[in-house]
Amino acid sequence: MNGLTEADITRMRDQLFFEGPERDRRLSRFWLLLPLAAVIASAGVVSDSTATVIGAMIVAPLMTPILGIVLAVVLADRVNLRRSVLLVVAGAAAVVAIGWLIGLFVSYPVVAATNGQVAARVTPRIVDLVAALATGAVGSVALARSDISDTLPGVAIAISLVPPLAVVGLTLESGAPHEALGAFLLFVTNVAAILASGIVVMTFHRVHRLFGQRVTTRFRYGGAVAVIAAGLLVVIVPLWINSDRIDKTVTRQTEVQAVAQQWASDVGWSVTGVTAAGDQVLIEATGPSPAPGLSTLRQDLNDAGLKGLDVRISLVIAAYQNVPG
């Protein structure tokens, strides 16, 4: 099935490629908007403001050269492929650098432990890849079909490109390279997903068969697709590891909370929080004096299949007084 025409291809080239008489104007627009989006994203992350980060997503022009890679691949256009790849790489490096520079002016570390925006972007999972694949497909369909192109702002919000790069710069400056690596993995995941789903959409429209032969600077379409597929497979491995680790942590935390709440209820106390840190689970409980013994809790945990789990508990004795009416 193919609904594209020569006019559609020309329209997409005009939207995505930095070529022709408008090349300098498009490049200047890209390099004007991208640093501004990086500043907005970095400020939003530092202030832990979701609304500000969303604003950066809308302003950011990084989606254009990424989709440009997709179109250049299906058209077998070597020149525009090289140009789009360079723009993505240079743009990503610029955002990281701006994030790092803004971090210099922040007097405290911007890390996952104290910042929700950072915490949301340093442990990407398989579900993030699934969402990115779907979002990338929507973006490619909106590009191919002018009648639904008004969905592109929603695509920009749904897929995170500039904010993870800003987090990379901020966490590097804060001395948290492991978190920076996680944020960079999220960016790479989103890029790989856009490329993969974009290739599928364009293949569905048979663009590479109908229009690819009209480009003079051709290359092997199959080779480019193989590289994109390999990149997608590479990111799946750490995403799968993260997903498995997080799922196990959440399951373990839920099991401990159920046991702890039952134990606390039996002794007249209440559990105020259960958190997992690495291989250890911390229980916070409060209640009247005297503090209850912990042997029963340990036995209950063992009976629930949590015998080898390292558990710590913080007992806070609460003083209760009557307030006359």
Give the length of the chain. Answer: 325
What is the arithmetic mean of pLDDT over 42-67? 92
Q: What is the amino acid identity at position 256?
A: V
Pairwise CA distance, residues 125 & 30, whole Å: 30
- pLDDT category at 211 given cuts 50, 70, 90 is low
More confident residue, 84 or 202: 84
Cβ atoms 150, 85 nearer than 8 A: no
The distance of Cα 250 from the centroid of its chain, to the nearest Å, equals 20
pLDDT tens digits, 191-202 = 999 999 988 888
Pairwise CA distance, residues 52 & 35, whole Å: 15
pLDDT tens digits, 297-307 = 999 999 998 88
